[in-house]
Amino acid sequence: MMKQRAGRHGARKRCGAGILGLALSALAASTLPPPSRAATTELVISDRLTGLALYGFDPVAYFVDGEAREGLPAFEFTYAGLVWRFRNEGNRTAFAARPRDYMPRFGGYDPAGVARGISASGYPSLFVVHKKMLFLFRSEESRKAFLASPGETLDAAEAAWPRVAQKLVP
């Protein structure tokens, strides 16, 4: 086994390389988007890292299966600048023919938040299909409040949505 002797210059090089590495890591971290969460500057919630609308959940599955189901990479469709994923070819075809019928109302923002004038991102697993429209919610409490009086919440959200949507970048 051979030992290497580090002189003063070798130690300085390693130290300099370490500092350079730390500086580059800090720079990279500062330019990266935050961890996977909704992009609150978009008209439809999406994963900032992947560009997947609804975090990759199939918007048609809410209507067909009655549950939140993740789409598959084999069945993607680009619409409104986002990549949408689907469980199968039939769901992708249905969405491509009538995307507005399957997209979440208010872009996936919680209707209770929209009613208050804010864009609170909903979670794909907290949803309600009401009057042939998909709504996503920020919390179970918000979902329960909506179910208790959907008409009242929707009236307020519909009135506030144009102002909320104006603050979002298309």
C-alpha 161/C-alpha 170 separation (Å) is 14
* In the chain, where the domains are located: 54-167
* CA-closest candidate to residue 119, choices 81, 58, 54, 163: 163
What pLDDT band is residue 124 in, cutting at 50, 70 and 90? very high
Task: Kindly report the number of other CB atoms within 10 A of residue 52's CB atom.
Answer: 20
pTM of the complete model: 0.75
Q: Indicate the burial class of 64 (C-beta count within 10 angstroms; 0-12, 13-18, 19 or more).
A: middle
pLDDT tens-place string over residues 74-108: 999 999 889 999 999 999 999 999 999 999 999 99
What pLDDT band is residue 170 in, cutting at 50, 70 and 90? low
SS3 of 82, please?
strand
pLDDT tens-place string over residues 25-61: 333 333 333 333 444 348 899 998 988 999 999 999 9
